[in-house]
Structure 1
Amino acid sequence: QSEKTVLQQEVQLAVRESDRLWAMLEDKTSAHERFRAETEQQLRLWAQQLAAELKHLHLLVEHNRDLPQSFTVAEAVAHLRTTREQLQHFVRRLHQQLDSQKQMNEQLRKEKEQELRVQRQQLRAEKDQALNSMRRQLIREHVEELSCLRWAHVSETGGVAACLRRQLQDKDLELRQVQRSMAEWRRRTAARLASQFEHQLTAELERCKVALMRSRRASKTREARPRGGTHSSKETVCSHRIHAVNSAAAHISTDVVSLKLLRHLQGKVKQLRVETQAFLWSPNPPDPPVALSGEDVAEIKRQTS
């Protein structure tokens, strides 16, 4: 019980840590979105201010065109050019900062996702290990308690023996419940695997049937093709006949192979159904077959050869 409690506490701590990391990632993402929105808003504001300033300068130039000026037109143009270059440099620097912030946020998001993925895998592995350890510990404790109860039943009688017998009955009921749960799980797994295998077999048979019909249709088309020519093209006619005979022999061989494969797969389906029925009625069924093994594939190749 203490080990189970410690493992449950560790799992809860890991889940809380995962939630904390997810919350941190969401905070970083929202902060990045806010920063980007503020930056875009600031850029738009600066663009509006720059446009207003340029418009104001243009109005000043138009208004003061006839007034005496303290500097020449070339100096004013150079000053405007310098100001424009400074503004462009400032805008480029802002864009660079924005891109850098985006890259940092993207890198942080990837790191957090990787860390969360690793933590999930670790939690899953620790959970499986804890469950296996608890299962082994329960089995060991059950065996030890059965041994103690058996020894107490032999050595003692009376109220202690009755109490021990009740404990033994409780443990037996618990064990039977576990066995029933395992049997139900195995039955469901066997039924699911049998249904999956039957669907795969049906699809494979349909593909074989379509391929066989296509090959037969092509053979009939080649055999029904008109054979023209004169008496001088006897060699061509003979070669066509030889090709037709070879094609017919190949189709016959393919039909035989397909028939053998079909019979073998039908036998497999019947065997799976029988094993499924055995799982349904057996109190301690064996492990269900999960897929075609290498021996089954070798048997199919041997029977079809």
Structure 2
Amino acid sequence: MKLRSLFAVAALALLVQVSMVAAAPVVRENGAFSCTFYNDGETESWTGTPGNVDWSDAQIASVMRAMDTIAGLFSNEASRKVNVSFVYVNQTIGTAASAVPLMSTESSPPYAPKTKTVWTADDLGGRGVASGSAASVNNLEDVWKYGHYLPSDYADVVVTISSALHLNNSLYYGASASGIQGFQFDMETVILHEMAHPLGFYAPGRSDSKTALEVLTSVKSYAGSIDPKFFDGTTTVAYLQKHGMGILDYPYAAYETNDMASLGVEMSKDGSHISKWVGYKDILMGDMALSGVVRRNYSDLELAMFKDMGWSLANDPFVAVPEPSSVILSLFGLSGLLLRRRRTA
């Protein structure tokens, strides 16, 4: 009897020990991404960062809604699913989240950027060829934009979320945008912002390489300020022209170049955010997150920039639509052609 009791106690102790072991990371997939969520104590495979908060179903669902939005954004054919890791970690209150892309290589670590010495028209949304500097390409771009197969045991992107913001209820995970409180940051908005960095809004951190965004960014000087960087891709400029927006929307009186007809989107110093843009407020890629603000889709301005970076938009709002007069003329031409065929039949 005592022996049975000892076996029962041992079995119970083993059961308790097993239950204390952290569960395996949670994996969720959609058409473009394989997303892994690391719980408290679980170590992310690439960065080696341990999570310090568990993910709830509601939190995972909020992230996946954002990832579904991104998955439907581009029509590029990925060679495999893009691997993205999500981890809650200790970060300062000022840093809600960050997204670090794995830089493409043909071999194993260290993860130095894969470089392109010549940009093709496909790289730059049909703009043409630019050369003369090395170009940085990360895993997400290589796998999804260019369709290259890059086998990897690591994540292509690691997104870290501030556990401090989560624990003090400053992150909002609700499906309805109307439920957010004024002091909260919307998780879907945060994820859309952070994922835009590996999609192109990023600086490679190397002085000898650039990104597609940086290749399409020019430096313009104006009086009384530092030199800003202006993104001036073809689609973006055409969009701004159509809506009457340009440098006159900036709160500066005089440009040293006196080129008042120039158009562009002012970028932050490293080219990773849109800064000081006052002509267009509804953007995700501003350089400052705003509490109580929900933006769950990229603006047309940002879509234009993605297209100029070489991405193929699944629902392209910039495809030219024939004017009504042109359509009428085309119909007249078609009817004339059909009538002529009848007569000659």
TM-score in same-fold range (> 0.5): no
- The normalised TM-score by structure 1 is 0.16
- The normalised TM-score by structure 2 is 0.14
* Higher-strand-fraction structure: 2
